[in-house]
């Protein structure tokens, strides 16, 4: 555990704090969509457990939220390690007296042609994107059931899980699995008042998409930036998304405004793929 505190002063634009008092865990919280969600949750009044495997990035991200006036707990975690996941959740629950929400944002991607997908590449994506999601959901759901309280779980999937893509078979398969896992968990956890939903982002301006763009340039023999340009040109809203726009949907799904919403996967993609 790196630290827990509430900073002073805030430039947050949020006025209606919809997550006041919510105890939330966010994986992959040190950058990109995960950082945007952790930041927005803190702005909305939640105590946020930020989980990531990069100590340097995690410390920087947590400090940035503290400067905004947010309350955070930073926990180093590799989501592939089931025992470590259970330990991190237990530590957060012990420190905060419980857990009310989880957002699974930790993920990885490697573009590779179908015929070049090997066991190592397949296992790496499955371990992070699927097993990691499963272990986190299990640990948090068990804690919520033990508390006897309602809760919310949000899994970050992808529109890539809605369709096949050239050079992206393994990642598409993992995100399709996340969507399916979300539906199954929602059905099993509904009797406990635990809602489980997913978000399927499209192209979002994050460090991960920078890596995708670089990998696509090599795979397709095109200039760096061309893959992003081509993909963006197909979006009805005519632009890529911003991490904060995914965060807004995560806030909604976690808040009381979504108290009757479960077993759903919401596309946040500028209209690039039908629901």
How far is 110 from 203, CA to CA, in rounded Å? Answer: 15
* CA–CA distance, 76 with 201 (Å, rounded to integer): 25
DSSP-assigned letter for residue 196? E
Count Cβ atoms within 10 A of the Cβ of residue 144 and give its class: 0-12 exposed, 13-18 middle, 19 or more buried.
buried
Q: Identify which of 140, 20, 32 has the alpha carbon closest to the alpha carbon of residue 71.
A: 20
Which residue stretches of the chain are H helix?
A: 32-43, 55-67, 82-96, 119-125, 132-147, 169-189, 207-220, 226-232, 243-254
Length of the chain, in residues: 275
Residue 198: its H or E element: strand 194-201
- Is 171 among the residues known to form the active site? yes
- Residues 46, 171, 197, 227: which is the catalytic one? 171
Residue from 267, 246, 262, 263 nearest 26 by CA: 246
Please list, in sequence order, all residues whose beta carbon lies within 8 angstroms of the beta carbon of residue 118, skipping any fewer than 6 positions away.
none
Local structure of 220: helix, strand or coil: helix
| Among candidate residues 159, 178, 183, 146, the one with its CA nearest the CA of residue 268 | 159
Catalytic residues: 171
């Amino acid at each position: 555990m790196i630290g827990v505190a509430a900073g002073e002063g805030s430039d947050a634009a949020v006025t209606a704090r919809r997550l006041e008092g919510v105890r939330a865990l966010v994986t992959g919280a040190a950058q990109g969509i995960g950082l945007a969600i952790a930041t927005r949750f803190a702005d909305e009044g939640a105590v946020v457990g930020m989980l990531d495997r990069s100590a340097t990035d995690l410390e920087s991200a947590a400090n940035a939220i503290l400067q905004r006036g947010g309350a955070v707990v930073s926990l180093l975690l590799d989501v592939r390690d089931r025992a470590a996941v259970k330990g991190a959740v237990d530590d957060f629950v012990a420190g905060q007296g419980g857990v009310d929400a989880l957002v699974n944002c930790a993920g990885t991607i490697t573009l590779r042609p179908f015929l070049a997908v090997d066991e190592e590449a397949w296992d790496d994506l499955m371990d992070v994107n699927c097993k990691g999601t499963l272990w986190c959901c299990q640990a948090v759901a068990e804690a919520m059931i033990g508390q006897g309280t309602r809760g919310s779980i949000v899994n970050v999937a992808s529109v890539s899980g809605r369709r096949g893509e050239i050079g992206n078979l393994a990642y598409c398969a993992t995100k399709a699995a996340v969507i399916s896992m979300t539906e199954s968990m929602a059905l099993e956890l509904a009797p406990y008042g635990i809602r489980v939903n997913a978000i399927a982002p499209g192209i979002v301006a994050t460090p991960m998409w920078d890596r995708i763009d670089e990998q696509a340039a090599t795979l397709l023999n095109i200039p760096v930036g061309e893959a992003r340009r081509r993909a963006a040109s197909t979006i009805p809203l005519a632009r890529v998304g911003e991490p904060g726009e995914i965060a807004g949907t995560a806030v909604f799904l976690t808040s009381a405004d979504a108290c009757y919403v479960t077993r759903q996967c919401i596309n946040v993609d500028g209209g690039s793929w039908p629901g």
